[in-house]
């Protein structure tokens, strides 16, 4: 029994340490706000999970008591396992990457964490301790955020939106969101005024920090969740004093809503970072439209693979394949739908979504069932129902990460506890002999050491090697950079894709730098091409990996190979303008002008508001000598006021390079009309006249420039003398 007590204390201590992980930031790691937290989480979870299994072998009472919540959590991970096997990239689905540290491997660790919480927190006192440790951790995180507000600590994202040690304002908002409801819960449950004062202060402090993050989803979710909690509380409470309290809260929130609505155009709201962001919510805004486009893409992808989805971490494949051309102005690659429902639909199909929604639905159902059975109070019913509603709402605009996962699973584990806490204890030892316990325990700890080495130690070394490679590259130690890149790639599948991408970028960057020894440049390019080829083979449906390979071929001067890679990328992402431009450029180099223009026109047709696509098309038409097409397009832009003298100058320069002097002259004349004080345009027009055999017109333009700008007189007259002497001006 002494060993059982030791194991129990060790396991609970491990869960308490996990609650402080939001404070962890390892600057010596690639993605310092993500990887350190996750690696420590995995190491702790694996250790205490091994302890827990040994404890269960010794005492069956530590097996989890199960409700529908438990089964749906289990089902969600089971579906992800199947989706990993049958998805489009099993390796990425299992390992994820350093930026997210999720995937099936991450969810398996989260499941172990959930099982531990359900297994060892068997009393209300256990959970009180657990959540109050989380309060302490949140105060530390909140304290750091206050220093950011005071300007003492920097805000890592820049701007005014605090992010504390989480590196992202949204992550901090969700983290504090949990603690607002926890503080409310214990405020309502506490019978001591001293504790109530503490919880009230904590509630206001955490709500204030959610507000200061200016995260609209979290702010609205918090407001709506608290309103729902107050509403349920008012109907379910048998105490008149508390009913009046909830009525007051409802009235206050309604009043605040009306005040905001009628004062939304005041200076105070317009100048408030948070209120202004809430005020500017509109389905017509660029942000909202971008979200709608991504959600539409996600639904199309779901229809292609409806049962088990595409597998975890494969949204980038979906993003490329179903790319909406109207997203050209956003970041080039998305790896999340920024909507938890759609993320689950993509990674696990309809089965994954059912499991995910089932966790929430069963939680609410069990809360109401236990309340009407008299097993829990209206406090649990109202607070946790409001919390689940608010959390689910804000999750329609974001995705979960480590800080939110460890808390939402704790909430689900606690609601599971509330649902089964009156179930009869088994009070039986598991039927495993002492000798068998030693054998099983030995096997468990051997498996633990192997797991720690494969899933944590080697990936940590790969992570630090990648950061070392980037540091060496920045400092000019190119040989060491190459060695560290290769070491990172070879150490672990976790982060291998990122290491290969960074290696590709590095090798492409130094390829044309003549100051670097040729042997180093050549060696890096050859190795990087080899790794990029392997990555393209590992992820044959990922356009991004093929693009990196094509860029490396291009840097190595292997045009045909680059062209084939870019065409393959276009097959995988047929509507992404960035790739269309690359392929069109290669057709242009092959003098296949018609095909190049056809592709450029396709890019314009996909979204005519993409002005770079329009400019690119006109440049190709000018280069190919399609004067009538170019004139028509340029005239349209001039008439609409959507072009500039600089654009006309660039097109004229292309025409000059192709010895298409007639078009160049027209373009320079048009440019001068837009910028009559730009002497350089006049000089360029004069040079074009000279090149086309019209020296008199060239001289006339130079004389105009001299009159227009007396400072140009000496240089202009020198040019004129050169022309009159039959020499080309220099």
Per-residue pLDDT, 439: 85
The domain total for the chain is 1
Judge whether residue 53 has pLDDT over 50. yes
Q: CB-side exposure of 502: number of CA atoms within 13 Å?
A: 25
Q: Could you tell me if residue 19 is inside a domain?
A: yes
Q: Could you tell me if residue 727 is inside a domain?
A: no
Q: Could you tell me if residue 48 is inside a domain?
A: yes
Per-residue pLDDT, 661: 87
Instruction: Work out the average pLDDT over 94-119.
Output: 97
User: pLDDT tens across 449-484, in order?
Assistant: 999 999 999 999 999 999 999 999 999 999 999 999
Judge whether residue 194 has pLDDT over 80. yes
264: nearest Cα among 256, 276, 252, 254: 276
Instruction: Report the C-alpha gap between 108 and 80 in whole angstroms.
Output: 10
Q: Could you tell me if residue 671 is inside a domain?
A: no
Per-residue pLDDT, 431: 67
Q: Is 500 helix (H, G, I), strand (E, B) or coil?
A: helix
Q: Could you tell me if residue 578 is inside a domain?
A: no
Q: Where are the alpha helices (DSSP H) in 401-542?
A: 402-420, 434-452, 458-475, 478-491, 496-510, 518-538
3-state helix, strand, coil in the chain (%, to 5): 75, 0, 25
Give 114's contacts (C-beta < 8 A, 6+ positions apart).
Answer: 73, 409, 412, 413
User: pLDDT tens across 340-385, in order?
Assistant: 999 999 999 999 999 999 999 999 999 999 999 999 999 999 999 9
**Which conformational region is residue 643 in: left (phi greater than 0), alpha (psi within -120 to 50 degrees), or beta?**
beta
Q: Could you tell me if residue 441 is inside a domain?
A: no
Instruction: Report the C-alpha gap between 534 and 528 in whole angstroms.
Output: 10
More confident: 446 or 681: 446
- Backbone angles phi and psi of 271, in degrees to 5: -95, -5
Instruction: Report the C-alpha gap between 615 and 634 in whole angstroms.
Output: 9
Confidence of residue 625 (pLDDT cuts 50, 70, 90): confident
Per-residue pLDDT, 729: 67
Judge whether residue 578 has pLDDT over 80. yes
User: pLDDT tens across 490-503, in order?
Assistant: 999 999 999 999 99
User: pLDDT tens across 227-274, in order?
Assistant: 999 999 998 887 788 888 889 989 999 999 989 888 888 988 888 888
- Cβ neighbours, 10 Å, residue 157: 13
Question: Are 11 and 120 contacting, i.e. CB atoms less than 8 angstroms apart?
Answer: yes
Which H/E stretch holds residue 80? helix 68-86
Instruction: Work out the average pLDDT over 198-209.
Output: 97
The average confidence (pLDDT) of the chain is: 92
User: pLDDT tens across 67-92, in order?
Assistant: 999 999 999 999 999 999 999 999 99
Q: Could you tell me if residue 98 is inside a domain?
A: yes
Give 355's contacts (C-beta < 8 A, 6+ positions apart).
Answer: 72, 75, 76, 78, 79, 344, 348
Judge whether residue 45 has pLDDT over 70. yes
Q: Is 336 helix (H, G, I), strand (E, B) or coil?
A: coil
Judge whether residue 426 has pLDDT over 70. no
Confidence of residue 430 (pLDDT cuts 50, 70, 90): low
Confidence of residue 427 (pLDDT cuts 50, 70, 90): very low
More confident: 656 or 350: 350
Judge whether residue 705 has pLDDT over 70. yes
Q: Give the domain range for residue 305.
A: 2-122+215-413
Judge whether residue 635 has pLDDT over 90. no
List the end-to-end C-alpha distance of the chain, in Å, as a whole number.
Answer: 96
Per-residue pLDDT, 166: 96
Instruction: Report the C-alpha gap between 618 and 641 in whole angstroms.
Output: 16
Question: Can you say how many angstroms the Cα of residue 299 is from the centroid of all Cα atoms in its chain?
Answer: 19
Instruction: Work out the average pLDDT over 42-66.
Output: 94
Judge whether residue 123 has pLDDT over 50. yes
Q: CB-side exposure of 261: number of CA atoms within 13 Å?
A: 6
More confident: 704 or 195: 195
Q: Could you tell me if residue 273 is inside a domain?
A: yes
Using a 10 angstrom Cβ sphere, with 0-12 exposed, 13-18 middle and 19 or more buried, the burial of residue 387 is buried
Confidence of residue 63 (pLDDT cuts 50, 70, 90): very high
């Amino acid at each position: 029994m002494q060993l059982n007590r030791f194991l129990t204390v060790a396991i609970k201590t491990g869960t308490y340490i996990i609650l402080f992980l939001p404070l962890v930031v390892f600057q010596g790691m690639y993605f310092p706000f993500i990887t350190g937290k996750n690696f420590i989480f995995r190491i702790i979870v694996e250790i205490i999970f091994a302890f827990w299994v040994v404890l269960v072998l010794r005492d069956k009472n530590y097996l989890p008591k199960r409700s529908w919540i438990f089964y749906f959590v289990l089902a969600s991970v089971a579906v992800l396992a199947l989706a990993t096997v049958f998805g489009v990239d099993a390796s990425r689905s299992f390992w994820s990457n350093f930026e997210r540290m999720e995937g099936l491997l991450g969810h398996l660790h989260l499941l172990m964490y959930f099982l531990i919480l359900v297994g060892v927190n068997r009393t209300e006192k256990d959970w009180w301790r657990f959540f109050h440790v989380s309060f302490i951790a949140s105060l530390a995180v909140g304290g750091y955020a206050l220093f950011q507000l005071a300007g003492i600590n920097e805000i890592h994202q820049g701007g005014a939106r605090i992010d504390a040690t989480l590196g992202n304002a949204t992550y901090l908002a969700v983290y504090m969101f949990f603690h607002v409801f926890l503080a409310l819960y214990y405020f309502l449950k506490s019978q001591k005024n001293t504790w109530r004062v503490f919880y009230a202060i904590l509630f206001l402090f955490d709500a204030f920090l959610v507000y200061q993050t200016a995260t609209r989803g979290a702010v609205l979710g918090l407001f709506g969740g608290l309103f729902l909690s107050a509403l349920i509380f008012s109907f379910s409470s048998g105490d008149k004093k508390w009913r009046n309290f909830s009525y007051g809260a409802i009235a206050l929130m309604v009043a605040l809503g009306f005040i905001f609505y009628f004062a939304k155009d005041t200076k105070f709201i317009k100048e408030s970072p948070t209120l202004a962001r809430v005020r500017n919510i509109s389905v017509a805004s660029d942000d909202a439209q971008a979200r709608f486009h991504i959600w539409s893409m996600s639904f199309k992808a779901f229809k292609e693979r409806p049962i088990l989805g595409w597998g975890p971490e494969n949204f980038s494949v979906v993003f490329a394949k179903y790319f909406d051309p109207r997203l050209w102005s956003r970041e080039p690659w998305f790896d999340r739908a920024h909507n938890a429902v759609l993320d689950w639909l993509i990674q696990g199909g309809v089965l994954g979504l059912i499991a995910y929604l089932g966790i929430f639905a069963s939680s609410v159902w069990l809360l109401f069932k236990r309340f009407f059975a008299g097993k829990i109070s209206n406090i649990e019913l109202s607070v946790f129902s409001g919390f689940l509603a608010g959390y689910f709402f804000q999750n329609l605009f974001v995705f979960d990460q480590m800080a939110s996962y460890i808390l939402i699973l704790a909430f689900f584990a606690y609601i599971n506890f509330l649902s089964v806490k009156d179930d009869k204890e088994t009070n039986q030892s598991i039927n495993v002999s002492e000798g068998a316990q030693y054998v099983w325990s030995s096997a468990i700890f051997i498996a633990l050491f192997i797991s720690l080495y494969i899933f944590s130690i080697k990936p940590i070394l790969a992570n630090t090697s990648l950061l070392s490679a980037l540091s060496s590259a920045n400092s000019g130690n190119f040989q060491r950079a190459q060695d560290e890149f290769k070491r990172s790639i070879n150490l672990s599948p976790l982060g291998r894709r990122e290491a290969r991408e960074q290696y590709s970028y590095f090798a492409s960057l130094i390829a044309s730098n003549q100051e670097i020894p040729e042997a180093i440049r050549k060696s890096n390019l050859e190795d990087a091409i080899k790794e990029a080829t392997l990555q393209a083979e590992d992820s044959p449906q990922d356009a991004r990996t093929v693009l990196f390979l094509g860029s490396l071929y291009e840097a190595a001067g292997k045009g045909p190979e680059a062209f084939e890679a870019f065409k393959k990328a276009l097959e995988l992402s047929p509507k992404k303008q960035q790739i269309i431009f690359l392929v069109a450029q290669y057709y242009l180099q092959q003098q296949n002008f018609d095909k190049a223009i056809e592709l450029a026109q396709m890019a314009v047709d996909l979204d005519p508001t993409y002005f770079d696509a329009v400019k690119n098309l006109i440049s190709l038409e000018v280069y190919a000598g399609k004067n009538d097409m170019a004139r028509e397009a340029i005239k349209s832009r001039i008439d609409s006021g959507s072009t500039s003298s600089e654009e006309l100058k660039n097109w004229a320069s292309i025409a000059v390079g192709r010895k298409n002097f007639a078009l160049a002259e027209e373009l320079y004349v048009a440019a001068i009309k837009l910028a009559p004080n730009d002497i350089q345009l006049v000089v360029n027009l004069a040079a074009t006249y000279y090149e086309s055999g019209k020296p008199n017109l060239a001289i006339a333009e130079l004389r105009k420039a001299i009159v227009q700008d007396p400072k140009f007189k000496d240089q202009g007259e020198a040019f004129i003398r050169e022309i009159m002497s039959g020499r080309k001006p220099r």
